Structure formats: C-alpha cells, structure tokens
Structure 1
Amino acid sequence: MNINFDLNDLQAFRAVVENQGFRRAAESIRITQSALSRRIEKLESALGVKLFERTTRKVSLTNVGRAFLPQVERLLDDLDLALLSIGDGGANRRGTLTVACVPSAAYYFLPHAIRSFHGQYPLMKIRLIDVSANEVSAAVAAGEADFGVSFTGNLAPEIEFSPLLEEHYVVACRRDHPLATLDAVTWAQACEHDCITLDKSSGNRLVLDRALSGLQPGKHSVCEARHVTTVLGLVEAGLGIAVVPSIAMPISAHPILAKVRLVEPEVVRQMGVLKRRGRTLTPAALALEQRIRALPGTLTRD
C-alpha cells in the first residue's frame, strides 16, 4: 500500500469521532471545516476505504472505520506519551479531552478535579458529556469520550470498570430543616416529610426502587424531576427534602444545603471510572483521571 497520509490526517479522523461531526472537530483542532474534510478525504483515498457515513443530520463510523479507530488511537496515544517524556509536562499542550459522566458527578464532584487539571494543562479544553449511566457507557464504548465516570450497571462487554468510591444515599435538605440537626435519619422518618423525587428515567431512581421494594411509602412526592441538579435546586428553594447520592452534594460546607446519613436500610452504589478495553489513556486524560481518583479523600460530611 502506498501510504499517502500523515499524522495530521489521523488526528483529523480521531477529532471527527470524538466530536461527532465535522464542524466541532474542525474547531477542536483549529482548522477550517473544508480543510478537515480534505484531510478525511485524503485518508480515505489513501486507504481505499470509506471511514464515515455522512448524512445531513449526523456522521457515523462505517464498520471499517470502527475497526480502524482503535489502531489510530493506540498510535496517537503512544506518540503522545513519547512526546510528553521529552516535552514541557503539559503547559503548552493543546487539544480537547472528553469525559462522559452522570449528572450527579458533574455538579459538585468533578469541577474540583477539572480546576486542578487546568492548572497543569491551561490550554486543554475539557468537554463534559453529562448524561445517564447507560449513555456514559455508550459514549465510552463508541470512542466519543476518553473515559467515563458512572456507577456499576449494565456495561457493554468492551467497557472495563475501575472502582472509585462506594457512596451512600443521603437526605438533602436545607440547613433550617428539622432533619438537618440529626446525625442520621431512617427512611421511615424521611418519608414523613414533603419529598422531591427523581423520575423513572434516572439511574438513581432504579437503584432506590430496587433497594426499597419492601418499604411502604409515606407522603406522596410533591415534585418529580429528571436530574439530581434540578432536585437540589428545588430543595434549596424550600420545597422539600430529597434522597440523592452523596457525590451530588457539595464537598465543602454549603450555606443552604445540608446532608444527613440515611439508615434502615443504608443504600449504597459503586462509582467508578469507565474505559474502553485495550485503549491507553493519553497523558492528559491520565492526569485528569488521577485527579478524580484523589477526590474521595477530600470528601467531608456536614
């Protein structure tokens, strides 16, 4: 085969995959969309295959493109590692790092790691895909995200799960709420108060429904929302209490919100990092993952 393509063409290919389209891919590697299209056409011509299916609405990999992607990622990742060993450690590194995560991790938990990461990689752009647990797994499996942060569940075979922390579900309430003064609250006590709940599309709702199948409900929910962040906003407004994973709560003291341990029964879930099997993280992605792994040690209780 006459290898008539270069590193820029391979980087363009990965950028289109990671950004799910040509416009955002061109922006991420700072070239025009027409220049990006020429690089992809050049690569496809050199290989003699079609790598992408393109419609007016979306861009997706062909079967050949999906098979080619892991090889490109491995080559570029190995090159990135080699350059890092002789480079400046990250201060001048550019690019986009994509992380898929459940919304409960995106609000209070991940920003601390991203802020620390930004200090070492100030020119790197972080793209957060904050979606449901199933969508996190799918984004990592498809190569749309460098890695994911989610909880255990029905993971695709090509996904490996690495534990991060075991977290408890807690009562979220205002600091002026009667429950805020307690060290722990039973589910029976919690059910006596107006409650804001997550709807059935939430992975957290599934975890809770399974754990509490034998518990008789107390008061009816006064409001139901899809995302934990929305629920916490309603709690702050004084509409009621809510049961949320502890990772969704502020790491340090909050002027309005308080969290109280839930018991009888305690409900826990395993949070972790999701990666695609066989893929080596880039130095930048590895640096962010390490910062995320350091976060559980900083978690404090109210």
Structure 2
Amino acid sequence: MNLSLKHLQAFTALCGTLNFTRAARLCHLSQPAFSALIQGLEEGVGVQLFERSTRSVQLTPAGKDFEPQAHRLLGEMDAALEKLRGVSTQQSKHVCIALLPSLAAHWLPTVLEAFAHQQPHIKVTVKDVLNAPCCEAVLNGQADLGLASALSSHPELQSHAVANEHFFIACHAKHRWATCAEAIEPSALINEPFIQMAPSTSVRQAVDQWAAQHLEAPLNQLMEVEQLATVMGMVRAGFGVSLIPALSLEYFQDPN
C-alpha cells in the first residue's frame, strides 16, 4: 500500500489517546473519516493494529511493534520538511533594490557595508537606473523596492517620503558666483548659459518644477546631457552653470 502521512498521523494519534473521538479531533477529522482512515491503514498493511470494543481501544501486538516505527517515520518526515523549509528560506533571502545612480554611487555603498554586517545571509542586488526605469523595475517585479524622486510616483505603487533634498548651484571656480558672499537670486540664472539634464531624469524634472515656480522666463539652456558626470565636466570646462542635488555633490569635488 501507499503509506501516507495522514495514515501515520492518525495511527500515532490513536496510539496516544486510545479513543477514536479524541484522536479524530486531534487530526481535525470527523469520527467516520478518521475510522475509515484507520481501517484503510489496517487493510493496506494486512494486519489488525487495534482491538476495539464498545468500551475500549487497545493496541494489538502488531500495533505495539509498529508504534515506534511510525513515530520514527513521522520524525524523519518532519526533519526533511524542516530542512526543505530552511533551504527555501535561504533561497528567499535575496533583495533587489532599484535606485538613482547618484544614490547608488555615493550613498548606498556605506549603507550596504553596514547592512552586510548586520544581515550577512541576505544577498542584495542593485539596479542603478533613472527615475522612470526605477518605478518600472518595482512594477514588473524586477526589484523589491525603489528609491526615486517623488515626482515619479505611480498609482500602482505605495510610496513613503524618506528625505528632502536641497539643490546647489554648480559653477566654475573662476565664475563670479564662486566667491559671492550674498544670496543669488533665482532670476540671475536666466541669463547664464545653463547645462541641463535630459527630461527623463529626476534632476531635470525637479529643476523644471522649480523654474516654473520661481522664474518668469525660461533658463538659457546651452546643452542637454544624460549624466551628472557630464554636467560636471561641462561646468568644470567653464561652459556654463547648473543646478544639482545635494546627493550628487560628490561628482563636483574638483578644484575647478
């Protein structure tokens, strides 16, 4: 016969209680279903395991011989399942995070280093992508979570604000603003050659939103680039100025 886990559980429950009603309750079965399970077990092995009367239930000699083996088989089954669950848990200890390149390059490494010491069994993979791909990665299940600009919110995603970011003017070291002690008025940017980022970037979206609120004329866009590193190179060469988020200041640690 095919000895099932239910057969073993029913047999050991009845061994422990010697009462069909209580054993059926332990196995979450009705008494008729439980009785049928025990009867099927006895018919399958071809041996009577219990002696039944109107007043009592007792193990037969064959039943007494089988009892320790049944407990051993159940123990081995539990151990095998526990090991399988452990393997599954280990395999599931993997997190993928999507985030902006500036965060991935300058903020995340220190955080990951600390996290690796606290949770050494969790593998973390990183997708350094722009705002829109960051949200798409979470939407399509390629990433478990994303860190992006609030301007990239999506109706199918749940988001929480974790930080507010300041923007800075980046200019050449010889530019008149480099040594300016007074506050620079927003309108002063209108006449400056401006190094702008691509519309798909979170920086561009934030700058456009700010300009719409504070400037009466459009920025004097000299060129449009994809990467903050390119913005840094153009500003360093003296082509123009730009507005950059605080988390990207590391790109601009240059004498010029």
Describe how 1:232-271 pairs up with structure 2 within 5 A: 232-250=232-250, 254-256=253-255
1:243 CA drift (Å)? 0.9
1:94 CA drift (Å)? 11
The one-letter amino acid of 1:199's match is A
Q: Is the 8 A contact 1:98 1:129 kept in 2?
A: yes
SS in structure 2 of the partner of residue 215 of structure 1: coil
SS in structure 1 of the partner of residue 162 of structure 2: strand
Task: State the identity %.
Answer: 25
Describe the superposition over 1:195-232 as per-residue Cα deviations: whole angstroms up to 9, x where unpaired. 211122323323322332352136x3332102333312
Q: Is the 8 A contact 1:98 1:147 kept in 2?
A: yes
- Cα RMSD (Å): 3.5
In the alignment, what sits opposite 1:199?
A: 198
Bigger Rg over Cα: 2
1:143 CA drift (Å)? 2.0
Describe how 1:31-110 pairs up with structure 2 within 5 A: 80=89, 97-110=95-108
The one-letter amino acid of 2:128's match is D
TM-score relative to the length of structure 2: 0.53
Describe the superposition over 1:239-261 as per-residue Cα deviations: whole angstroms up to 9, x where unpaired. 3221122222129x93437xxxx
The one-letter amino acid of 1:159's match is L
In the alignment, what sits opposite 1:113?
A: 111
CA distance in structure 2 between the partners assigned to 1:116 and 1:254 by the alignment: 25
In the alignment, what sits opposite 1:10?
A: none
Structure 2 unaligned blocks of 5 or more: 1-84
Q: Which has the higher contact order (CA 8 A, sep 6+)?
A: 1
1:152 CA drift (Å)? 1.3
Q: Is the 8 A contact 1:104 1:245 kept in 2?
A: no
Q: Is the 8 A contact 1:173 1:242 kept in 2?
A: yes
In the alignment, what sits opposite 2:209?
A: 210
In the alignment, what sits opposite 2:175?
A: 177
Describe the superposition over 1:78-105 as per-residue Cα deviations: whole angstroms up to 9, x where unpaired. x75xx8xxxxxxxxx9975421112332
Q: Say if 1:125 and 1:191 are closer, same or farther in 2 by CA, change over 3 A.
A: farther
CA distance in structure 1 between the partners assigned to 2:93 and 2:238 by the alignment: 42
TM-score relative to the length of structure 1: 0.46
The reply to whether residue 168 of structure 1 matches residue 166 of structure 2 is: yes
User: Runs in 1 of length 4+ with deviation above 6 angstroms?
Assistant: none
Q: Is the 8 A contact 1:104 1:248 kept in 2?
A: yes
Structure 1 unaligned blocks of 5 or more: 1-75, 84-92, 258-302
SS in structure 1 of the partner of residue 161 of structure 2: strand
1:193 CA drift (Å)? 3.1
Q: Is the 8 A contact 1:107 1:229 kept in 2?
A: no
CA distance in structure 1 between the partners assigned to 2:143 and 2:201 by the alignment: 21
CA distance in structure 1 between the partners assigned to 2:172 and 2:124 by the alignment: 32
